[in-house]
Chains A and B, each alone.
Chain A
């Protein structure tokens, strides 16, 4: 399994990055950080 993590993503960019990951065959998990920004963890079998 391959995992990639991107931190400190502004809210308005989250959807676009999730869509891009999905178009590459990754599943994604979005986590809201304490500072209001987001982390995306993408995994691919």
Chain B
């Protein structure tokens, strides 16, 4: 009888256990990792003169499609730990009830390896795609969130709540704009609309009137904390736009000498906005474009 009771208790405890899938810190995760799309300026193409670097913008949409030979559909799931750091889950089943982000990508892309000091630190996927992003709060452990259908099922069973959004990355035409569903509460209806939109937009990728703009959409790091260097090397950080020129002329009005009062204003603005970069970096990189627009507005540089 005692043995039977022990067996019963073991059975109960196993039956109620929460499976905790392995979580890996963002900086150490060695697999496909979706990122916010980053513009990429150039691509290496083969011509009669051998390999040459050309701006993506100089190529026809048909030539661009030919340079994106890979296609894949993948899923990534991540969560935040108590300190706010991002962790990736190695399985598509949640652990304990909590907050999760599920990202499902369809991508048409090319891979570019990134080297630093003569060794590969990772690779980037440059291409176009459709991305479904579900931010969910689960109230039950061990939910399978490996597909949109499963998400809908769990939502209809009231096991989770959340928001669903769709990003169309680098695929543009008047028709496609009409197909994009608006961001919606996660339920079976919104999932149905998302699935319909994805199927329709995917079928339009080969249409002649669709503009294709490849971007860096995912990375795969083979060294710890290599994300920043992969992004920098692929996206090419140099950029000098009209906002750069306006700030440069404010900093060095005659093109050579620094106006020290203006320099202090720029430095203070950079610091006040939580940045730790030089004025040169601030002026000459694509990463700073949005900040440049903001400083121009804040310091009213366009009116000076």
Contacts and interface: CB of A to CB of B under 8 A. Distances in A.
A20 B277 contact: no
**Majority-rule SS of B interface residues:** mixed
Interface string A1-42: 010111111100100010011011010000000011100001
B280 A8 contact: no
B254 interface: no
B278 A4 contact: yes
Contact of A35 (B42, B258, B279): B42
Contacts of A10: 238
Interface residues of A, number: 20
B280 A42 contact: yes
A8 B42 CA distance: 9
Nearest to B256: A19
Given A20-B280, A24-B278, A42-B280, A7 B53 contact: no
B44 interface: yes
Nearest to A38: B238
Contact of B281 (A4, A8, A13, A37): A4
B278 A26 contact: yes
Contacts of A8: 41-42, 236-238
A20 B238 contact: no
Interface string B261-301: 00000000000000011111101110000000000000000
B204 interface: no
A21 B42 contact: no
A21 B284 CA distance: 11
Contact of A17 (B252, B276, B277, B280): B280
